[in-house]
Amino acid sequence: MNIIKDTDHILLMYDGKRKWLLKVRQGENFGTHKGIVYFDDIIGKQYGTCIFTKPQGFKMRVFKPLPSDFILKMGRTTQILYPEDCGLILMYTGIGPGSLVLEAGTGSGALTCILGNYVKPNGHVYSYDIREKSLKQARNNVQKAHLEDVVSIEYGDILIDVDHHELDAVVLDLATPWLAVKKVKSFLRLSGVLCSFSPTIEQVKKTVEALEGKEFYDINTFELIKRKIIVKENATRPTTRMVGHTGYLTFARRIQDIENPYQGKKPEKAEKVDLSDLSDLIKL
Ligand SMILES: C[S@@+](CC[C@H](N)C(=O)[O-])C[C@H]1O[C@@H](n2cnc3c(N)ncnc32)[C@H](O)[C@@H]1O
């Protein structure tokens, strides 16, 4: 499992900043400013090994790519979701092996690939977008990640064309999610989770207003702020530059609301208990 084979993906790292996501191919090579990396020197070795560029002999580390590496290095035509936001989506929707998930819009397919990885082997991600450019880029990324069996990417306007039933989760990342709420609520099974990602508070307010009512419960919005910590002798501190804002994530669970049969009814009068027999006992 840990041996690198022809056509496998690797993350090649020179240092924290210089890293490349590559597909190794027998007989081919990759040129860097530090020299040439020959894939034949990598194929057959274990992930986690080091190799040396030719002719300069600079050390490069070879890792098995993580989902976060795929996301940050994949081709994109739109803004994509950051790995930490994807992590929260997985935790708060409960998406896992076997889950049936709808996503709109697909964008560059960054979240699509993460979702695809987690619903494997018997779940499915149905992803829709209205931009041909996004669909093409996303299909390309899904193919590179070998997820075609568990992901379908199709043209579709979530507000008009799409229809599904009994889904475990619906994930929205589009400009007007509040317009989609009315449509997608019927796609979810009871207790299924709707998640919406939006970069602005105005979008969040409209989305939460659309969710409020009898069909959703446990509506929560979160923002994640990630700070990298630089560890140095006597100078350990957060980095001075950071991504200050990605977006807000709103979650809501689908419910079947049932009228309270006790509402409006007077409680029955409490039954009086005759304690006269106990009076002798009490005297004792
Ligand atoms: C920010 S991108 C999504 C990025 C994606 N989450 C990712 O990680 O790569 C938003 C996408 O929503 C699509 N979109 C907007 N309105 C839509 C609609 N009504 N139905 C389907 N897709 C829509 C846009 O075309 C765009 O590609």
Does the beta carbon of 71 sit less than 6 angstroms from any atom of ligand 1?
no
Sign of CA dihedral 82, 88, 91, 93: negative
Atom number, ligand 1, closest to the C-alpha of residue 108: 9
pLDDT in tens, 192-220: 999 999 999 999 999 999 999 999 999 99
Residue 283's pLDDT band (cuts 50, 70, 90): low
Q: Are residues 61 and 78 both part of a single domain?
A: no
Does 2 fall in a domain? no
Q: Are residues 28 and 164 both part of a single domain?
A: no
Atom number, ligand 1, closest to the C-alpha of residue 179: 19
Judged against a pLDDT cut of 70, whether residue 282 lies above it is answered with no
Helix, strand, or coil here: 235? Answer: coil
**Which range, of 39-48, 139-148, 264-273, averages the lowest pLDDT?**
264-273
Does 84 fall in a domain? yes
Q: Report the CATH number at residue 13.
A: 3.10.330.20
**Which range, of 21-25, 35-39, 77-81, 199-203, averages the lowest pLDDT?**
77-81
Q: How far is the CA of 159 from the centre of ligand 1 (A)?
A: 12
Q: Are residues 58 and 74 both part of a single domain?
A: no
Residues 6+ apart with CB under 8 A from 109: 74, 127, 134, 137, 138, 139, 140, 141, 142, 153
Nearest residue (by CA) to ligand 1, atom 18, is 157
Mean pLDDT taken over the chain: 93
Sign of CA dihedral 8, 129, 212, 262: negative
Query: Which stretches does DSSP call E strand in 14-106?
Result: 19-23, 29-32, 35-38, 50-52, 59-63, 100-104
Q: How far is the CA of 217 from the centre of ligand 1 (A)?
A: 25
pLDDT in tens, 225-244: 999 999 999 999 999 999 99
Q: Are residues 58 and 13 both part of a single domain?
A: yes
Does the beta carbon of 133 sit less than 6 angstroms from any atom of ligand 1?
no
Q: Are residues 86 and 50 both part of a single domain?
A: no
Partnered with residue 171 across adjacent β-strands are 103, 195
**Which range, of 68-72, 106-110, 115-119, 222-226, averages the lowest pLDDT?**
68-72
Any idea of the CA torsion for 143, 119, 44, 57, to the nearest 10 degrees? Answer: 70
Judged against a pLDDT cut of 90, whether residue 271 lies above it is answered with no
Q: Are residues 111 and 180 both part of a single domain?
A: yes
Q: Are residues 86 and 135 both part of a single domain?
A: yes
Distances (CA, A) of 69 to 11, 36, 66, 105, 142: 8, 22, 5, 22, 14
Question: What is the bridge-based pairing of β-strands 151-155 and 167-172?
Answer: unpaired
Q: Report the CATH number at residue 142.
A: 3.40.50.150
Nearest residue (by CA) to ligand 1, atom 13, is 105
pLDDT in tens, 50-96: 999 999 999 999 999 998 898 888 888 888 999 999 999 999 999 99
Q: Are residues 152 and 187 both part of a single domain?
A: yes
Does 200 fall in a domain? yes
Structural domain containing residue 21 = 9-65
| Distance (Å, whole) CA 121 – CA 102 | 17
3-state helix, strand, coil in the chain (%, to 5): 25, 30, 45
CA neighbor of 111 nearest in space, from 73, 138, 146, 149? 138
Does the beta carbon of 159 sit less than 6 angstroms from any atom of ligand 1?
yes
| Distance (Å, whole) CA 132 – CA 168 | 27
Q: How far is the CA of 122 from the centre of ligand 1 (A)?
A: 25
Domain total for the chain? 2
Q: Which of 68, 72, 78 best tests ligand 1's pocket when mutated (most atoms within 8 Å of CB)?
A: 78
For the chain, what percent of residues have pLDDT higher than 70? 96
More confident residue, 13 or 270: 13
Q: Are residues 113 and 199 both part of a single domain?
A: yes
Q: Which of 173, 181, 187, 248 best tests ligand 1's pocket when mutated (most atoms within 8 Å of CB)?
A: 173
